[in-house]
Amino acid sequence: MNMRSILRFGAKICFVRRKLVFDARLDQIPNVTARTPVTFRFGDASDLLRLSEGTHDYDTAATRFSLDRLLAGDRLVIAESAIGPRDEVLFYAWLMFGQLDLGVGKYLPLAPDSVYSYRLFTAASHRGKKLCAAYFTFIREQLEAEGHRRLLCWVESRNLISRRVHEAAGFHSIGCIWHIQFLFRSYFYVPKTLRASLRRSHAEHTSAALAAGAGASRV
């Protein structure tokens, strides 16, 4: 084993990563149309099985996990071409309700009116065509109709492209989660203020903001 291999192995078993938690009010997500004709819809198990490791970065373990999440109530959203054969998934993402997934089977509770968006993916041939932004427009309309008010997600701090996409869609950072892995064991540090923010509903956030504003100085 050479030095490069040793370093790569070490990076897998020991690391510290920072996950930025993003929050958006559904009514502040802008209307965006993809730059290529696509149709968004909710998918099922048969659609999930169309996702491949080569095209969609979906391996056997991911498929197994996602089948379990479908049974738990998560929703798969896919985008297909609106003008050609509808046999290729150009974009997919997932929605989780009631909790935010940290990974490795650990979750944080969310307010009833909040939804967690995760595992967003655009096929390489269609990146840069605003499919992700159009996805947010699609789910905004669906989720608002069901009484939801907030959309949450987390992004690796080093993923600058994903951060810019979310910020352009109306998201703002509300805190960070520290993910520490040591010898294949994962540990998470979540500040108490962030935990409390995730559990508060949109109405509670609004009330807190109004109360803070009432105490502000006016000159």
pLDDT at 173 (0 to 100): 96
Q: Does the predicted TM-score (pTM) go above 0.75?
A: yes
Number of neighbouring beta carbons within 10 Å of residue 84: 9
pLDDT means per 10 residues, the chain with 219 residues, are 53 81 96 94 95 92 95 97 80 97 90 96 93 97 95 95 94 96 88 95 66 48
Helix (H, G, I), strand (E, B) or coil at 218: coil
Tokens of residue 173, six digits: 């950072």
**CATH-assigned architecture of domain 21-175:** 3-Layer(aba) Sandwich (3.40)
Question: What is the reported pLDDT for 170?
Answer: 94
Q: How far apart are the first and last CA of the chain?
A: 68
Tens of pLDDT, residue by residue over 77-120, are: 999 988 876 678 999 999 999 999 998 789 999 999 999 999 99
- List the chain domain ranges: 21-175
Beta bridge partners, 80, equal: 39, 89
Beta bridge partners, 107, equal 101
Read off the DSSP letter of residue 203. H
Question: 155: which 2 tokens?
Answer: 């992004």
Distance CA 94, CA 81 (A): 19
- The predicted pLDDT at position 202 comes to 75
Q: How far apart are CA 126 and CA 29, in angstroms?
A: 22
